[in-house]
Each structure stands twice: as structure tokens, then as C-alpha cells.
A and B are shown apart, each in its own frame.
Chain A
């Protein structure tokens, strides 16, 4: 099942995917452009992986890490499907990052790899934008590059874990203005989903709704105001976003 949080007719409500349309709880079916899409989850904690695909690690001139390279983000950065993301006027390289996002389903502490999938509620698509020229050397990557307002589109749907037979074999594709610019597969992750649940839960309690953004493969390119960026993951959906300029 694919669930969404939307705003329609003056209130926030749950909705479901139904043959390419959006079904409300009263049974009405709408086109996806008729509703306002919100992030499908409201996480307490947002964990994100850097350099978790070897080809992307090579692309941005870093060595592949021996331990997960992790950073945290704030809720300020999340926006839903079909939202707008501002590109600062002084950005010289702002790029998208198509990522599999794990949504935690129950309290997780000291979870073994073998049991990890029991703790996952579902999956969604995240686009973890970065303003690369803002990168600095303290608590890298810091909030100024990675937790900017509206710079992490997420959605459209929260897809039940049970519907995804093998989350470690999903195709990721990014299109900018219709052209494919990024392609990869979740099977190329350095630290896979069960490893990450074990790793995090060994030192912190993960809570229902917490998000883990699992990193992005090669193919991150600069985007400009007006560009439409679609990050898509096989079985999860296509997350649309449009770049706008940041007003002074």
C-alpha cells in the first residue's frame, strides 16, 4: 500500500495511491496535480549517509569510507512532492541526490542485521539537495550545505515495507527537464539497509517515523532555477521538484 499526506479542501489528510490517482478516505479519486503534497512522514530524527555509493564517492573526490559517514538534518528541510526548492543566488554548484529513504516502524535498539527488516515501516524517495560550494570543514557537511529550508523533497508516498520484496535491488533514476542524468541501483550501496539499522541502533534508539537517507549514486549535476528534477526509485514512485531562485 502507498500512503500520502496531502492538503485538500482546507485540511491535512491521508490519501492512498489508486491506479495512478490519489484516493481520499471518502473514496473520491483525484489527479495528483489537484492536491498539495506534504512529506509522507513527520520524522523525529533524520539521519543521512554521505558517500554511501562507491561511484559517487569517487565522483566528489573522496575515498570510500570505512565506517558510515553520517550527518543529521532538521525538519525545516523537508518538502513534499511537486514542491519548490530555492537555489541561493551565490550557489555555483547545487545538485540533487536521489536516495532511498527508510522509515523506521518501531523502537529499535541493538537490532541485529538479521532482524533489521522487522523494524522498517516502509520506504520513500528523498532528494537530498546540496549546495556543494558551501561545503566547509567543521561538522562536515554542515547545516548550511545540507539542512537548508526546503532542500530535501521527500515522497510522494510512504510505501509499505511488505510491498518491496528486495529494497537492495531497486533502480534509481534522476531526470532533469526530461533527460536522464543519474542512474544507479541500491545494490551498489557500500553500507546496506540491514547494516545501517544495526549500526545506528547499536548506539541510539531509533523511533517510529525516524528517517534514514541512504546516500546517492554517481551522476549529480548542477541544476538551475526553472529546472524540473524528478527523482524516481523503482516501486516507490517519482518525486517531482522544481528549482526556483532564492529571493534576496
Chain B
């Protein structure tokens, strides 16, 4: 395994961090026919992205501040894909060869039901996107669909899911995104988050694991107590 340490905003991770909604089959199953009702009016025709803004991105081991208006957050254990070559309206094979490597992401999210508007207050709080600890070379993980993602709260595995549950497998997802939004070297794509992501609150230690990618562990602290 070839792995180098990742630092948000550093040379390997200099671009955007995008997440993808509705890319885990269980998300669609839960919604059921609601996706055809108001206000959604039908399944989206392409990948639905959200942004984990620069203020959210922190490294492994850094504390996640939990704001005073937030009781609990979801531990959004996920696979992160880092891009090394620009993708614009790319095919699946081109997308696959543009992957620099993989890392772990915790897409920390305030629980919310409505998917109608973009969830800034739920997903873009300071420190809500731990990333790391390292970037594992794409050549070392030829088939990410075989991997299992595990979410831990205080050392206990609370949820796990397999990446064969992705609606769009990794390379297909990148290719489909690049139909309307180019991906650039240093961008990171969170390929999907399970709707069963466990809850945690200030005082808890949370972690994400995928075999071969190590462990991404962070402590949740009340905002103001994190001594940033």
C-alpha cells in the first residue's frame, strides 16, 4: 500500500470537496414514492451534488466543534475519491484513470428530513468534514465496490455498509458529474453516505474505517471548548 498524509487545502487536496446525495440504494428505498410527490416531483436526472465548503475541512485527530444549537450529528462515514486529472464530459474508463487515490471522509451532518433545498446549516458548519488520514494510491485498491465502510462512536461499530450499494459506482459517478461540472486535480468526491449513519454528540469520539484506508478518528466537542 502506498499512502501519503492528506492535509485539507494542501497540494493533494487543493480543490473542492463535493458530496453526492441519493447515491446509496438505501436512500432511494427510504424515500420510496415520496420522490415523485411534492416538492421533489421525480427522481433527479443526474448526480445531485452538495459542497463541503473549505471551512468544514479538517484533518484526522482535529476536534469537530458542535454548535450550541445542535444536539446530535450523523457520523457520515464515507469513501473519498481524490482526482488527479481534469474530467470534462468524460467516459467511465477515462474517469477511472483520473483517480489519484482514496481516503476516508466523515460527512458530519445535522439530521434533517427535507431534501428540497441545499443543506448549508446542516452540512457546512466549521469542522464538519474530517478527511484522512492518508491518500492511498488508486492502484492499491482496484475495486472499491468490494469495500465495507464502518462508522464508530466511542469505539463501538454502530453501522457498516458495503460500497456495492452505490447507485452509481465510483467511476460512473465521476463520469456523470463531469457531464455538467468538471472535476479538477485536487478535488475530492464523497461517493455516498448511508441514511443509517449513526448519531453522536459533543463528548463522543467518532471514527470511520475502511479496510486498507486506515482509521479517521475525531472527537466531537462543544463549540468554544475546542481551543482551535
- Which A residues touch B48, using CB under 8 A? 138-139, 142-143
User: Does B40 lie within 8 Å of A139, measured CB to CB?
Assistant: no
Whole-angstrom distance between the Cβ of A128 and the nearest chain B Cβ: 15
Q: Judge whether B30 is part of the interface by a CB distance below 8 angstroms.
A: no
Binds A, one of B13-21, B90-98, B212-220: B13-21
Whole-angstrom distance between the Cβ of A144 and the nearest chain B Cβ: 5
- Cross-chain contact of B49 among A134, A140, A147, A203 (Cβ < 8 A): A147
Q: In the complex, what distance in Å separates the CA atom of A139 from the CA atom of B20?
A: 11
User: Taking CB as reference atom, which chain A residue is nearest B57?
Assistant: A44
Q: Judge whether A149 is part of the interface by a CB distance below 8 angstroms.
A: yes
Q: In the complex, what distance in Å separates the CA atom of A138 from the CA atom of B42?
A: 9
User: Does B22 lie within 8 Å of A149, measured CB to CB?
Assistant: no
User: Does A204 lie within 8 Å of B51, measured CB to CB?
Assistant: no
User: Does A204 lie within 8 Å of B117, measured CB to CB?
Assistant: no
Q: In the complex, what distance in Å separates the CA atom of A101 from the CA atom of B93?
A: 38
User: Does B116 lie within 8 Å of A138, measured CB to CB?
Assistant: yes
User: Does A204 lie within 8 Å of B120, measured CB to CB?
Assistant: yes
- Which B residues touch A185, using CB under 8 A? none
Q: Judge whether B184 is part of the interface by a CB distance below 8 angstroms.
A: yes
- Cross-chain contact of B55 among A147, A148, A205 (Cβ < 8 A): A205
User: Does A139 lie within 8 Å of B120, measured CB to CB?
Assistant: no
Q: Residue-by-residue, is A165-192 near B (CB-CB < 8 Å gives 1, otherwise 0)?
A: 0000000000000000000000000000
Whole-angstrom distance between the Cβ of B223 and the nearest chain A Cβ: 10
User: Does B180 lie within 8 Å of A149, measured CB to CB?
Assistant: yes
Q: Residue-by-residue, is B165-188 near A (CB-CB < 8 Å gives 1, otherwise 0)?
A: 000000000000100111110000
User: Taking CB as reference atom, which chain A residue is nearest B115?
Assistant: A138
User: Taking CB as reference atom, which chain B residue is nearest A68?
Assistant: B120
Q: In the complex, what distance in Å separates the CA atom of A190 from the CA atom of B210?
A: 46
Q: In the complex, what distance in Å separates the CA atom of A143 from the CA atom of B184?
A: 16
Q: Judge whether B54 is part of the interface by a CB distance below 8 angstroms.
A: yes
Binds A, one of B121-129, B133-141, B150-158: B121-129
Q: In the complex, what distance in Å separates the CA atom of A109 from the CA atom of B55?
A: 11
Q: In the complex, what distance in Å separates the CA atom of A117 from the CA atom of B125?
A: 22
Whole-angstrom distance between the Cβ of A181 and the nearest chain B Cβ: 26
Q: Point out which of A44, A204, A205, A207 has the most chain B C-beta atoms below 10 A from its C-beta.
A: A204
User: Does A45 lie within 8 Å of B55, measured CB to CB?
Assistant: yes
- Which B residues touch A63, using CB under 8 A? none
User: Does B55 lie within 8 Å of A204, measured CB to CB?
Assistant: yes
User: Does B120 lie within 8 Å of A72, measured CB to CB?
Assistant: yes
Known: A75-B16, A204-B126, A207-B55. Contact between A143 and B181, CB under 8 A? yes
Q: In the complex, what distance in Å separates the CA atom of A148 from the CA atom of B117?
A: 18
Q: Judge whether A69 is part of the interface by a CB distance below 8 angstroms.
A: yes
Q: Residue-by-residue, is A187-220 near B (CB-CB < 8 Å gives 1, otherwise 0)?
A: 0000000000000000111110010000000000
Q: Judge whether A76 is part of the interface by a CB distance below 8 angstroms.
A: yes
User: Does A204 lie within 8 Å of B53, measured CB to CB?
Assistant: yes
- Cross-chain contact of B44 among A138, A147, A148 (Cβ < 8 A): A138
Q: Judge whether B46 is part of the interface by a CB distance below 8 angstroms.
A: yes
Q: Judge whether B2 is part of the interface by a CB distance below 8 angstroms.
A: no
Sample of 8 further A-B pairs with CB below 8 A, known A144-B180, A207-B54 = A74-B49, A138-B116, A139-B119, A140-B116, A143-B48, A143-B49, A149-B180, A204-B56
10 residue pairs bridging A and B, Cβ less than 8 Å apart: A44-B53, A44-B54, A75-B16, A75-B184, A136-B42, A139-B50, A139-B116, A140-B116, A143-B47, A203-B67
Q: Considering the complex of A and B, which 10 residue pairs feature the smallest CB-CB distances, nearest first?
A: A137-B40, A44-B54, A72-B51, A143-B49, A205-B55, A45-B53, A76-B182, A137-B41, A71-B118, A139-B118
Q: Which residues of A contact B (CB under 8 A)?
A: 44-45, 47, 69-72, 74-77, 109, 134, 136-140, 142-144, 147-149, 203-207, 210
Q: Which residues of B contact A (CB under 8 A)?
A: 15-16, 18, 21-22, 35, 38-42, 44-51, 53-56, 67, 88, 115-121, 124-126, 177, 180-184
